[in-house]
Structure formats: C-alpha cells, structure tokens
Amino acid sequence: MVPNIISGTILNIGLPGATFSSLTGGGTIQTFNNASVTSPRSVTLTGGSGSAVFSGVLADNTKGLSLTMNSSGTLTQILSGVNTYTGKTTVQAGNLQVQGSLAAGSAVTISGGTLSGTGTVGNVTMSSGTLAPGAKIGIINTGNNVFTGGNFSASLFSSSTYSQDNVTGTVDLGSNTALNVTIDPAYTPASGATFTLISNDATDAVKGTFSGLAEGAAITVGSNKFTISYVGGTGNDVVLSLVSKTGSVTALSSNANPSNYGSSVTFTATVTAASGSGIPTGTASFFAGATLLGSGTLNGSGVATFSTSSLAGSAGTSITATYNGDPSYSTSTSSAVSQVVNKGASVAAVTSGTNPTVFGQSVTFTATVFGGGARPTGSVSFYAGATLLGSSALSGFRAVFSTSTLTVAANSITANYGGDANYNTTISPILTQTVNKANTTTASLASSLNPALLGQSVTFTATVAAVSPGAGIPSGTVTFFNGASTLGTGALNGAGVASFATTSLPSGISSITASYGGDGNFNTSGPSSALSQVVNAPPTFTSASTTTFQTGLAGSFQFTASGYPTAMTFSTSGTLPGGVTLTSAGLLAGTPSAGTGGTYNFTVTASNGISPNATQAFALVVNQAPAFTSA
C-alpha cells in the first residue's frame, strides 16, 4: 500500500502501528489519540524499488511515533518536510533520504540500510549500513555520531562540491567503520586540495579512526592519493588532503613508420618521473588527433604499448600518448608522432555466373576485393582484354556486372579495382570466359504469291532468329531450295530477314525450303519447314493433230494436254462421223459407220480452269472399207 496523504489531510495511526510500501503526498501522519494507550506507534516502510517523496509531516500527536525503513529491495524514501515525531528512527534496509528535517529528539539508528540527504537529523548511531551525506553530494546535519561499524560514504565532484557530515555534538568513529570515497572521473583535484568529510563543532576531539586509517594514513582514490587527518580543519575535523604528485614525462615511439594500411603498428609510451627515481604506474591512452585509439597498462619499467591496424591511410596522422597518472605521479602527454600510413595492398578475384555462354547470352561477373583492414570502397572496372565492359561500385567486398556483348571467343576477363583512400589499385587474375556461337532457327518462310501462274515472279522470304539463351540478329545469307535443287540466295537484312525472287518455277507444286549459312556469331540452321508453292499453267496440247480410222473397224485416239491443274476437260466443235464420239476425258473412239469415209476437220478444246483454254484443229481421216461388187 502506498498512501498519498493529500496536503491538509491527516492520517491517524492506531495500534500496533502501520506498514506501508512507501509514503507520498503532503499531509500529516500522526498517532491516534487514545488516553488508555501509552506505548508509541510505528510506521514501517517495506517497498521494493523506485523512489517516493513525502513532503508532509510525521508527528507524535499525544502518543509517540517511530519510523522504520525496512525496504525489501532498493526503495529510496525521501522526507522533504519538517517532521516532529520524537520516537526513534531505524534504518534497516533501503535508503532513507532526509531533505527536510527530523526532530532533534528522534535518534537515528543505522543497522543495515542507508541514511542520506541534505537535511537535518538528530543523533546518529551506526552499527552496519551506510551514512552517505548528501544526495551523492551535499551536507547532512547531524547530532552526536557514534559508529561501531558500517560505512561512511563520500563523493568528490569539485573542491567545493562534495559530501560532508556537519556534526553538532560529538564524533566517535570507533575502529570498525569503513571509509568509502569516490571521485568524479571528470574531476582532477588541484595540488593542495582538501576536503572536510566531517565538520565537528566546538572543540571536542574526534574519537577513534576509520578502519585501517590511522592519523596521517594514505588513502588512494582512483589515480589520486590523499592523507587523512582527524585533527584537521579547526583542529577536530576529519579532513582528506591531496598528496602532491611528482611530475611525469611521456615519450612515444612507433615500431613501423611509415606503415601500410591494414598492417599492425605498435606504439610504445615510456613514462618516467620528472624528478627522482620512481617508476610511474597506471595506464596510458593513445590518440590519433582527438580520437582515442585505445589504452595500455604500464609495466614494471613504466612502459605501455598499444597495437592497431585500423589507422586510415594518411600522409601523416598525429599520434600522441597521454599518461593518465597514478596516486604518486601526475598526467603528461607525449610529443606528437606523425605516423605515415601508406595505402595497403588489395587482392581482387573475378568469377563468372555461367561459363561457357553463347553469343548474346547475358553473363554476370562478380569481383571480390579484400584488403588488410576495413572493407575496400570505390569501384571495379571489368575488361575483356583491353576493352572496357563497364564498372560497378563495391558493396560488402563485392562488385557485380552483367553483360551480353562478349564476342565469340575465349575472352580474357579481368576485374580492375580502382583503389580508395586506404588501398592501392589491383587487377585480378585472368578469367577465361568462353563464348560459343549461338544456335539459330530458320522460320517464317513465306511466299509473296501462292498460287502463282507459270512465269510469274514469286518472292520467298525467310526469317532467321537466335535460339535462347543466345540473342542478337544473325547476318550472312540464306539459300532457298526447290526440293534438292538450289533456287538462289538472299542476304539477311538488319532484321534478320532474307528474300529471293524467281520466275523459273515449274508448274505444279514445288517444295520450297530455306537454310541459313551461319556467320561469325551464329551457327547454321535449316532447312526450314517446307512451303508448298503452287504454280498454275493453262493447257497446251501435246497430242497429234490428226489420226485415221476405218469404217466398220473400232478405232481410238487419246487427246493429251500439259498444264496445271493436270485434270483436263476436252470438248469439240464440228462434225464427227457416225459411230465416233469424243469423251470429256479426251478419248476419241468408236466404229465409223459404213459409208462415212472421208476427212473430218473439227476443233478440240482442252480446259483445266486456267485461262486461256487450249484449242487444236484436228483432222480425222476415215478410210472407206472395201466393198464386194461381184454377184
């Protein structure tokens, strides 16, 4: 429970008392008025962590009130008001920080926790735990101090800002109380500095000493040495006095100057006493300009070393070493050493994502660049022999570049790293990237006129294309065939198209194919799928123009004609002898009747659907068979 006692309100505490986690607010907490009860009531605080501020008043009323600080953890309870209770105050655990005041009659017993603050309390008895004046720093006002154990904790932040116990009464330190002193790392006490840790009023002497620290004993805090006096100040104060330090001299050297970037350089700082024969101890810090590189511990000869491989390339980096002092010797800084860091060596290698490839196929090259220190930066240029292919920036030791422009050859690929502020340029070993000819396909064979008439000009067109993963447009020539016979050739244009025109195709159906002859980058291909080219021709008689029959005897004659289509229809105009007919298939046949001898002239027409029809003047001679004239 954390009661928030609002200002102007009163919380009465009855028997046997009350236990809270902590106190907040600005009201009043007092004992409940009960005439039949004479024993005091207690407020106990048991919170585990954090801090709480109570600005109100803890009061007796008509019965005594006591306060016990017994945190279950690290609770800081701040009392910033004027408290008037007269019962005892016990600090068992946690931190009771008094920023206001406790009544002079409320004795404080420290038996495990911490009493701190810049307020005023009564007599303080400590057997264990800690008395820590201030809130890290500041003055706490106390009555009599009687210590039989525990810790007195003081912090030094400047010559006027530190922890102090201002005692109105007597001081008895006993012999088992430890003194713990800390100093702000940013504070370097000046020579002759003194710090009154316990200011004792009047003239009563300080009894006892801190554990292990007799009058005049030395105490070391960080790199500072103090002596302690229990008769300091006005004669009865506990005072720390800084022991004046002997000066020091720091000399700095480098084991490699100049050095190469990425290589290790060891700096050696040798610290000696400015006077006398002692050997300083402690540490030395090494700087590049204002940047701390690191530190080293002085050995028994006063020598500290520090090695680094992280110095940037430079014509001269200012390196200094600062001795950080110890309780006996003051700090000192060396003269600067101008450390020259030349560019370091780098190593490059190049690999191919696909090898071999074909002409027009994209290939990705990866260059890897390493150095002896930080990652190289900058860019890498990729070459095929002496020809620059392109460049790419390094990212995480690698640069990547893709190209599809390599020629058909065994290409010598190198990766040229251009260097940066820390690394020199470098060229990778040669990678042989083999680029073979790309395969092709001869497709899209087309005719400008199909069907055509005999003697007409027909143009054939063939398109040649690269087969993936190859790419590009083939060059060279395409040969056109009619069956196994070569018709002619045509050159590929910029679109990969070749054409050939002819008027010499025979009538009928021709099987046309095309074959690509290849070039320096592309393989041959073909023949293409066959194109059936139809060439039509009108009829032309190929049969004789006369024949002879005999009366009474069967005869026949077959008319024939060339042309395409080859199917012919024959007809006649004129008179045929009796018994003789002409079929549409062109067969003249029959037995001439008796008495029909003579010559018959007529016209025969052949037709195949292609104009013009063919006509032929035909003479049929019919011989008269002999006839008996005797009786």
CATH ID of 440-536, from 3.30.56.10, 3.30.200.20, 1.10.3470.10, 2.60.40.1930: 2.60.40.1930
Q: Please, what is the average pLDDT of the chain?
A: 94
Q: Do domains 4-242 and 542-623 have the same CATH topology?
A: no
Provide mean pLDDT across the span 546-573: 97
CATH ID of 4-242, from 3.40.50.2020, 1.20.5.510, 2.40.33.10, 2.160.20.20: 2.160.20.20
β-strands 569-573, 598-607: how paired?
antiparallel
Residue identified by tokens 């002079």 is 104
Question: Which pLDDT does position 237 carry in this prediction?
Answer: 97
The model's pLDDT over 333-386, given as tens digits with 9 standing for 90+, comes to 999 999 999 998 889 999 999 999 999 999 999 999 998 878 999 999 999 999
Question: Which pLDDT does position 262 carry in this prediction?
Answer: 86
Fold of 542-623: Immunoglobulin-like (2.60.40)
Give how far Cα 39 sits from Cα of 32, 34, 81, 234, Å.
11, 10, 25, 44
Provide mean pLDDT across the span 607-621: 97
Residues 6+ away with beta carbon under 8 Å from 626 = none
Q: What is the DSSP string of 308-366?
A: ES-PPPEEEEEEEEEE---SSB--EEPPPEEEEEEPBPEEEEEEESSSSEETT--EEEE
Contact between 149 and 125 (Cβ < 8 Å) = no
The model's pLDDT over 128-141, given as tens digits with 9 standing for 90+, comes to 999 999 988 999 99
Percent of the chain exceeding pLDDT 90 equals 84
User: In angstroms, rounded to a whole number, what is the distance separating the alpha carbons of residues 30 and 36?
Assistant: 17
Closest CA to 238 of 206, 216, 269: 206
Contact between 437 and 358 (Cβ < 8 Å) = yes
Residue identified by tokens 């020629």 is 407
User: In angstroms, rounded to a whole number, what is the distance separating the alpha carbons of residues 579 and 588?
Assistant: 11
Residues 6+ away with beta carbon under 8 Å from 605 = 570, 571, 572, 573, 613, 614, 615
What is the residue extent of each domain of the chain? 4-242, 248-342, 346-436, 440-536, 542-623
For residue 129, the Cα-to-chain-centroid distance in whole angstroms is 53
- Tokens encoding 482: 């009619």
What is the architecture of the domain spanning 248-342? Sandwich (2.60)
User: How many CB atoms sit inside 10 A of residue 478's CB?
Assistant: 29
Give how far Cα 501 sits from Cα of 452, 462, 488, 489, Å.
13, 12, 9, 9
Question: Which pLDDT does position 181 carry in this prediction?
Answer: 97
CATH ID of 346-436, from 2.60.40.10, 3.30.43.10, 3.20.20.80, 3.90.1150.10: 2.60.40.10
Question: Which pLDDT does position 40 carry in this prediction?
Answer: 67
Question: Which pLDDT does position 506 carry in this prediction?
Answer: 96
The model's pLDDT over 280-327, given as tens digits with 9 standing for 90+, comes to 999 999 999 999 999 999 999 999 999 999 888 888 899 999 999 988
Considering only 20-24, 187-191, 601-605, which range has the smallest mean pLDDT? 187-191
The model's pLDDT over 210-251, given as tens digits with 9 standing for 90+, comes to 999 999 999 999 888 999 999 999 999 999 999 988 899 999
Q: Tell me the pLDDT band of 631, cut-offs 50, 70 and 90.
A: low
3-state secondary structure of 282: coil
Work out the end-to-end distance of the chain between its first and last CA atoms, rounded to an integer number of angstroms.
171
